[in-house]
Amino acid sequence: MLDGMPWDEKFRLPDVDNILTPALVIYPEIVAANIACTLKLLGGDANRWRAHIKTAKLDYTLRLLIDRGIRNFKCATTLELLHVCQNGAEDVLLAYPLVGANARRVVEISQQFPQVRISVLVESPEQLPQWRGNDIGVFLDINPGMNRTGIELNALEKLVEVIRAIADAGLQFRGLHFYDGQFGSVDEPERTLATHTGYDQLLKAVEELRRQGINVAEVITAGTPTFPCSLSYKGFQNASFVHRVSPGTIVYNDATSLAQLPVAFGYAPAALVLSRVVSRPHPGIVTCDAGHKAVSADAGVPTGVVLGHPELSPLTPSEEHLPLGVKEGALSPQIGDILYLLPRHICPTVNNFDAALIVRHGEIEAVERVSARGHEGPLLSS
């Protein structure tokens, strides 16, 4: 799954002496190319992409998306919501079931940015009172079998009950959110078959809601692994609703997404972690300074790929150490050597860093803050 990731000389920084490692490096020309790839796949229609900013995280990257005409976004935290509103978003779905002080913070942000169309997810009538009296829309969160949040798709009576409750609460029902993230580890063609089966059920539910007098204005599907599946599903073409996809990883890409997505799509890695070899503790092992506090280990081991070094295999990391197995007979890197790591999961990896180096044509163009890193708080201002 993680083999065959290419090295490209444009990744290399000629002068690294003054760079503290581990360091997050972002290549804006590749970000721009990945955005262009996505828009091309969407027929040039930026309105079809509800970009998830959990990956982008930087105001810098958000502005690149905005500059290409993307105006519809999805996020998971109030900090992400704040930054995407500040950078010019027009329509944002907060795709997380916020309650309590977190919900009140969303209301504050919506009042601060009245020009932004903000929506939230619900799955139960008990989640509605906190949104009453505010110009906040509501999407129904559908559980496609991931069993993380949402209403099961075959529970039609409950779908209708919650939608009726949304209207009774004086709120606007804006559509269905269907994140089929459970298929990321399923290989093709089984992934597309399973995903399309879920989409068939989704369209049946939309049609049944219509028969009961309920109009579904928008349907959101697909993170990165099922993005191609949504593109190929004929039922979304010329549908009665606006269909949007919400992949986020494709802005930067990682070892996992590049293995999942067709090579013909043209995506490339736009964010790497720069690391130094700090130890040679045992024959056949070297250690670099990119433990799981730098390169996220949430997707398992190996945590990534060492670009340009197929002879190196990342082993189990600790907090600040990443041991690497050296293939028998291969030359071991020397202490102080620079390695370029392509994470297996880029989203939480970006979240590990306070700042990113913006590198264009081999030169450091800027240092940008990872502005939507972590969470707001912990105290509500009012």
Q: Is residue 381 part of a domain?
A: no
State the pLDDT at residue 9: 87
State the pLDDT at residue 139: 98
Angle in degrees, CA 10, 272, 19, rounded to 5: 85
Task: Give the total number of structural domains in the chain.
Answer: 2
| Whether residue 220 sits in one domain with residue 157 | yes
| Whether residue 315 sits in one domain with residue 226 | no
| Whether residue 300 sits in one domain with residue 234 | no
State the pLDDT at residue 1: 42
Structure pTM?
0.95
In the predicted model, what is the mean pLDDT of residues 20-44? 98
State the pLDDT at residue 382: 64
| Whether residue 236 sits in one domain with residue 110 | yes
Q: Is residue 218 part of a domain?
A: yes
Q: Is residue 99 part of a domain?
A: yes
State the pLDDT at residue 7: 79
Question: How far is Cα 161 from Cα 156, in angstroms, rounded to an integer?
Answer: 9
| Whether residue 237 sits in one domain with residue 200 | yes
Residue 268 φ then ψ, to 5°: -145, 155
**Is-contact 372 77, C-beta < 8 A?**
yes
Tokens representing residue 116 in the block: 């932004």
Looking up residue 13, the CATH number of its domain turns out to be 2.40.37.20
Question: How far is Cα 272 from Cα 319, in angstroms, rounded to an integer?
Answer: 18
State the pLDDT at residue 358: 98
Q: What is the pLDDT of residues 108-154, one digit of tens each?
A: 999 999 999 999 999 999 999 999 999 999 999 999 999 999 999 99
| Whether residue 14 sits in one domain with residue 160 | no
| Whether residue 279 sits in one domain with residue 248 | no
Q: Is residue 196 part of a domain?
A: yes
Q: Pick the last residue of a domain from 252, 281, 301.
A: 252
Structural domain for 65, as ranges: 28-252
Q: What is the pLDDT of residues 58-74, one digit of tens each?
A: 999 999 999 999 999 99
Looking up residue 73, the CATH number of its domain turns out to be 3.20.20.10
Share of the chain above pLDDT 70, in %: 98
| Whether residue 45 sits in one domain with residue 74 | yes
In the predicted model, what is the mean pLDDT of residues 155-177? 97
Cα distances from 159 to residues 99, 143, 164, in angstroms, run: 20, 11, 9
Q: What is the pLDDT of residues 203-225, one digit of tens each?
A: 999 999 999 999 999 999 999 99
pLDDT at residue 98 greater than cutoff 80? yes
Q: What is the pLDDT of residues 340-360, one digit of tens each?
A: 999 999 999 999 999 999 999
State the pLDDT at residue 4: 55
CA nearest 248: which of 62, 60, 109? 62
Q: Is residue 14 part of a domain?
A: yes
State the pLDDT at residue 202: 97
Q: Which long-range contacts (CB under 8 A, 24 or more apart) does 318-321 make?
A: 318/291, 318/292, 319/291, 319/292, 319/293, 320/289, 320/291, 320/293, 320/294, 321/278, 321/279, 321/287, 321/288, 321/289, 321/291
Share of the chain above pLDDT 90, in %: 95
Q: Is residue 3 part of a domain?
A: no
Q: Which runs of consecutive H residues, i.e. helices, occur in 212-353?
A: 227-232, 255-260, 346-351
Q: Is residue 94 part of a domain?
A: yes
In the predicted model, what is the mean pLDDT of residues 87-100? 96
Confidence of residue 86 (pLDDT cuts 50, 70, 90): very high
Q: Is residue 376 part of a domain?
A: no
Q: Pick the last residue of a domain from 228, 252, 276.
A: 252
| Whether residue 87 sits in one domain with residue 18 | no
| Whether residue 342 sits in one domain with residue 239 | no
In the predicted model, what is the mean pLDDT of residues 234-244? 96
| Whether residue 279 sits in one domain with residue 361 | yes
| Whether residue 180 sits in one domain with residue 35 | yes
